[in-house]
Amino acid sequence: MAIFKTLGHLALRVNDLDASVAFYNKIGFPEMLRLLNDKGDPWIVYHRITDELYLELFPGGDGEMVSPPERTGLMHLCLTVDDIDVAEVELKKVGVELMRPRDSKRGLDGNRGMWIEDPDGRQIEIMEMAPNCIQAEAVRNLQADGRPRALSLS
């Protein structure tokens, strides 16, 4: 039985609220709401990802990311796009550079991807999902018989 409808929001503690707000606005997630504390300072800044998915930015980071990729915790965020080539051009137009040059080949999962990072160094994967990728096939299988699959990529 599915209890939950969808993921509602992601909450990130940030070091420089203004820089983070500007970054997430720049990549297409507009600020939609600020909750202020009793002193009138921002407590949470909400950015719209979709009508049902939000990003919450909390000020007051301590200068170091709590969970870099090698540690237990949030490893990275993934954003999906219809066309990765268009996405790369649009990101460059607003001054967002890739972490490393994009590989022209598809990944082992059949998708195309590239990486950026936010002002606090969080890695953000950008993925163009192929209709026949392993994740889409796994969803179809799960819908068909309710069982997860294991897949060896070697």
User: What's the one-letter identity of residue 28?
Assistant: G
- Reported as a single tens digit per residue, the pLDDT across 86-134 is 999 999 999 999 998 888 888 888 899 999 999 999 999 999 999 999 8
Q: DSSP of 59-125, one letter per residue?
A: S---SS-SS-TTSSS---EEEEES-HHHHHHHHHHTT---SSPPPSS--TTS-EEEEEE-TT--EEE
Write down the CATH number for the domain with range 74-149.
3.30.720.110
Give how far the C-alpha of residue 6 lies from the chain's centroid of Cα atoms, to the nearest Å. 15
Per-residue pLDDT band at 9 (split at 50, 70, 90): very high
Strands 42-50 and 77-81 come out as unpaired
Give the number of residues written for the chain: 154
34's CB contacts (< 8 A; 6+ apart) are 42, 44, 45, 46
User: What's the one-letter identity of residue 12?
Assistant: L
Percent of the chain exceeding pLDDT 90 equals: 62
- Looking at residue 146, what is its pLDDT? 86
- Reported as a single tens digit per residue, the pLDDT across 13-59 is 999 999 999 999 999 999 999 999 999 999 999 999 999 999 999 99
pLDDT at 7 over 70: yes
Per-residue pLDDT band at 153 (split at 50, 70, 90): low
Measure the CA–CA gap between 138 and 108, rounded to whole angstroms.
Answer: 14
Beta carbons of 119 and 14 less than 8 angstroms apart? yes
One CATH from 3.40.980.10, 3.30.1900.10, 3.40.50.720, 3.40.47.10 for 7-61: 3.30.1900.10
Domain locations in the chain as residue ranges: 7-61, 74-149
pTM of the model: 0.84
Measure the CA–CA gap between 19 and 15, rounded to whole angstroms.
Answer: 9
- Looking at residue 67, what is its pLDDT? 58
- Looking at residue 108, what is its pLDDT? 84
pLDDT at 71 over 80: no
